[in-house]
Amino acid sequence: MIHRQIDVALGDRSYPIYFGKGFGSSFAPTCQQHGIPERIVILTDSNVAHHYLDPIEKNLRHFKFSVSSIVIPPGEHQKSLSRANQIYTQLLKEGVGRKSAIVALGGGVVGDLAGFVAATYQRGVTLVQVPTTLLAQVDSSVGGKVAVNHPLGKNMIGSFFQPRFVWIDADTLSTLPAREVVCGLGEVAKYGVVFDAEFFAYLETNLERIQQLDPELMLTVQARCCELKAHVVSEDEREQGLRIVLNYGHTVGHALEAAGSYRVLKHGEAVLLGMAAESFIARELGLLPPGDHERIMKLVQRFPLRFGKNSFAPARVLAALTRDKKSIDGKARFVLPVRLGEVQVVDEVGSPVVRASLRQLADVFGTK
Ligand code: ADP
Ligand code: ZN
């Protein structure tokens, strides 16, 4: 069953995002409608496979697809060239040809890795994204960014490669660990601040029910985020301009993640903290009215985000900031809110104000 559809307009690479329900029934017919090649390889991780691989495989076989699957261990370090290479080997050994499709069934890690493999294997095969984390559903599965990590940096090897369609299945959220829900909602809140004050207010009103994954509210939230992301991607597929606004919360967020060697904070948690820090910076620079800053802080504080004060150590975070791949000549680039629903790109942010924002994070979110 398909509840809703949102289109990503990219000329002949346009594609729909379906909000569906039923790996056991509706997924395979949707593949047929899209002329997905008969030969399908599902790439997934062991956690996701445990819950969802069986019904999706059965459904595809029932509709006469020839299906095999590759199950990798979970975790960010799977996003590597060596893992991609292993997958190429397996595809070659199985005789998977150009006229085949890769279905990415999983969170952002699986989506990025499977997308990267699909973009490069025999110069590109068909890709279908089936994101199963909230974060991947509202953010990473839409827009065609695919990548693996390099020892010297995350997502350093990659491309833009759009899927044939995205399938967001309502059933997948029920098994998602609580911390992953928080992470997804971090990106959700970001969309409110960057584009849509009304959506931000909706989150303020309904956050508890959303955190409990109320299906009706979740559909509204996912659809709104995808609509906003689809718009940005169709205006700026390759991040030459507008797409950078999605980086709000990410300049400080990435630095916080890196400062903790990616072990302390998960991406969405770091984004929430980054949103708090960057709205503080915006207020200090006189860009953001104090009332709006307070609303952003209050929303962020409603999430379970308590970390050791060390996570906010200014020297480490500042060092990571200048290494960010989006920084220009070692200067970090900030996307700062000027009011709820609107942001501005600012290149000149002095380190004293960044330090002050980190002190504030430590005061508000730091333990011991
Ligand atoms: P992200 O989407 O945040 O980048 P990952 O791909 O690393 O995240 O997925 C986060 C974790 O959640 C992984 O351990 C993954 O196996 C697990 N996971 C993904 N989707 C589900 C789901 N629907 N139910 C249970 N666990 C899931
Ligand atoms: Zn993000």
- Supply 92's token pair: 């070659």
254 neighbors 244 (Cβ within 8 angstroms): no
Cα–ligand 2 centroid distance for 249 (angstroms): 8
Residue 187 a catalytic site member: yes
Between CA 79 and CA 90 the distance in angstroms is 16
pLDDT for the residue numbered 50? 98
Helix (H) / strand (E) element for 24: namely none
Task: Judge whether 254 counts as a catalytic residue.
Answer: yes
Catalytic residue among 4, 243, 333, 355: 243
Ligand 1 center to residue 288 CA distance, Å? Answer: 35
Closest ligand relative to 183 C-alpha: 1
Buried b (16+ CB within 10 A) or exposed e, 3-13: ebebebebeee
Is the confidence at residue 192, as pLDDT, over 70?
yes
Q: Is 229 a catalytic residue?
A: yes
Report the pLDDT averaged over residues 5-29.
93
Q: Per the structure block, which two tokens stand in for 272? A: 């929430």
What is the rounded CA–CA span in Å between residue 51 and residue 46? 9
User: Has residue 334 got a pLDDT over 70?
Assistant: yes
Does the pLDDT value for residue 228 go beyond 90?
A: yes
Q: Do 346 and 288 form a contact (C-beta atoms < 8 A)?
A: no
Q: Specify the 3-state DSSP secondary structure of 107.
A: coil
To test ligand 1's pocket by mutation, which of 43, 47, 56 has the most ligand atoms within 8 angstroms of CB?
A: 47
Q: Please name the amino acid found at residue 144.
A: G
| pLDDT 10s digits, 73-119 | 999 999 999 999 999 999 999 999 999 999 999 999 999 999 999 99
Out of 47, 59, 149, 247, the active site residue is 247
Q: Which of 236, 339, 245, 253 is nearest to 296 (CA)?
A: 339
| Mean pLDDT of all residues in 132-150 | 95
User: Is residue 83 within 8 Å of 77, Cβ to Cβ?
Assistant: no
Query: DSSP assignment, residue 176?
Result: S
Average pLDDT over residues 252-281: 95
For residues 175 and 51, is the Cβ–Cβ distance under 8 A?
A: yes
Is 3 an active-site residue? Answer: no
Cα gap 340→349, rounded to integer Å: 20
Active site residue 62: no
Calpha distance 16→242 (Å, rounded): 21
> 291 alpha carbon to ligand 1 midpoint, in Å?
35
* Ligand 1 binding site (Cβ under 6 Å of any ligand atom): 45, 47-48, 51, 74, 76, 106-110, 132-133, 135-136, 172, 175-176, 180, 183, 267
Q: For the CA atoms of 293, 296, 298, 300, what is the dihedral angle to 10 degrees? A: -140
Cite the beta strand spans of 29-110 per DSSP E. 39-45, 66-72, 100-106
Give the pLDDT of residue 23.
83
CA of 107 to the centre of ligand 1 (A): 5
Confirm if 142 and 166 have CB atoms less than 8 A apart.
Answer: yes
Tell the residue nearest (CA) to atom 1 of ligand 1.
108
The residue to mutate among 52, 130, 132, 141, having the most atoms of ligand 1 within 8 angstroms of its beta carbon, is 132
* Domain 2-175 part of CATH 1.10.287.3510: no
Nearest of 184, 320, 302, 187 to residue 262 by alpha carbon: 320
Distance from the alpha carbon of residue 285 to the mean position of ligand 1, in angstroms? 37
Would you state the CATH architecture of domain 178-212+248-367? Up-down Bundle (1.20)
Residue 24, pLDDT score: 82
Does the pLDDT of residue 325 top 80, yes or no? no
| Cα 31 from Cα 33, distance rounded (Å) | 5
Which pLDDT band holds residue 240 (cuts at 50, 70, 90)? Answer: confident
Q: How far is CA 336 from the centre of its chain?
A: 20
Active site residue 145: yes
How would residue 171 be classed by pLDDT, with cut points 50, 70 and 90?
A: confident
Specify the domain boundaries for CATH 1.20.1090.10 within the chain: 178-212+248-367
Cα-to-chain-centroid distance, residue 267: 9
- The segment(s) of the chain belonging to CATH 3.40.50.1970 are 2-175
Q: Which of the 8 DSSP states describes residue 171?
A: G
